[in-house]
Structure 1
Amino acid sequence: MTTARDIMSSDVTCVDSSQTILEAARMMAALDVGALPVCGQDNRLKGMITDRDIVIKVIAQGHDPRALHASELAQGPVITVNADDDVDQVLSKMSSHGVRRLPVLDSNHELIGIVAQADVARVLPAPRVGELLGALSSAG
């Protein structure tokens, strides 16, 4: 059985919830990623922030990215998977929630990685990848 732990990227970097959106954007640029997990002072996952969030919710709305904090964009429930979840469970969560990236938590609920749609595409047969892409495309 292939699990989330088997396919995840483990070199995950969090943006602290107290850091500004500008700092988060600079981290994304430096790491060449489109999303970052947001962690609190307790190192627990508080949410996710994407480059799209920054553009749509900050820049397009005329907000100052130096004045907003990552915690202000990392709102709502965080969809996660457990490290030992089967890849089918990962696929199901991505499809049903319309997300392209899922934080991976260990048994202590600590962030240990991220599974992106590209990670799933590497291990699933082409028809299953097509199903995922179709579900994500229709999700918006």
Structure 2
Amino acid sequence: MGELADPAAAALSHDAVEELIDARGRELLRQLLQDHLDLRAAGEERALSATVAGSNGLVDADGVVRRRVEKGHHRRLATIFGTVTVSRCALRAAAASCDRGGAGFVRRCQRGNLEQVRPGDRARVRADV
């Protein structure tokens, strides 16, 4: 906002000064919102990491146990102040080990369950995943 103290600002019309204050004010508000979202994300990371580390994981609505916290998921969000970036954690289940079945079958994992699938059904299986 040092622009208002500049001698050139004295020559600006009232509406030009209003536009300048509006633009700089919105950027300040956007930055305040971004800082708040960053603090929330840091708190979420600490809370989830501590919760998962101190227990056998968290159980989601489908009954799947989530034992791993994956940090660093970001998305852009349009707000009335401008675009901000929201960071979130993802809770992941432990990966199941899948191996190949014999006799013309392949195995696939789905939520930790192994299922045998015939080779001709592979296209359908891929579409289901």
TM-score w.r.t. structure 1 length? 0.23
Larger radius of gyration: 2
Higher strand share: 2
TM-score w.r.t. structure 2 length? 0.25
